[in-house]
Amino acid sequence: MAFGQALPETSRRSFLGGLASLSALALAAPAAAALPTREERVLSFFNTHTSDRLTLPYFADGAYLPESLARLDRFLRDHRTGEEHPIDPALFDLLHDLRRATSTNRPFQVISGYRSPVTNAMLCSEGGGIAKGSLHLQGRAIDVRLADVPTPALRDAARELRRGGVGYYRRSDFVHVDTGRVRAW
């Protein structure tokens, strides 16, 4: 039925009622997006050092899944020393949003997840722009690339999220993201 057309009183009322519930839905939508309760968040990784792969939901029904987080901690361990450290779940949410922002269908290729103090000191002494107080030491940073997204595009998507630090390493072709202060290098 066209707008502006005269409606019998009863159908006009249900038409207006329909409009009211539509706008209620529209108002509810942003809140639902910010606080998903039924959403399952899935991430997929490929470890470039060990060639291990991992795909799993880490969040479902409004809560992080402890077993998944434990598997992710193991997966993102310091591959040089074998040491594990709890990884900040906010980092997984950041990666999940990056997945959406880039529309990637491929796993995140992980260059570096957790870094033990020994490994970080070793990499520092080799140079290459490794920070002494790196957030990798706290399980709050990850270095990644995607096979189906050019790395500069991944960097831009990460910067647009404004959720922490974003570093672009052109020569090694990866992007560092962390859950620290919003900054870029």
Binding residues for Zn ion, per CB under 5 A? 141, 143, 176
Radius of gyration of the chain from its Cα atoms, rounded to whole angstroms: 22
Shortest spacing between CB 78 and Zn ion, in angstroms: 13
Distances (CA, A) of 57 to 37, 63, 105, 112, 126: 14, 11, 15, 21, 36
Nearer to Zn ion, 54 or 177 (CB): 177
Query: CB 143 → Zn ion: shortest distance, Å?
Result: 4
| C-beta of residue 175 within 8 angstroms of C-beta of residue 155 | yes
Nearer to Zn ion, 78 or 143 (CB): 143
Rank residues 39 and 151 by Cβ distance to Zn ion and give the closer one.
Answer: 151
Length of the chain: 185
d(CA 163, CA 94): 7
Q: How far is the CB of 120 from Zn ion (least distance, A)?
A: 10
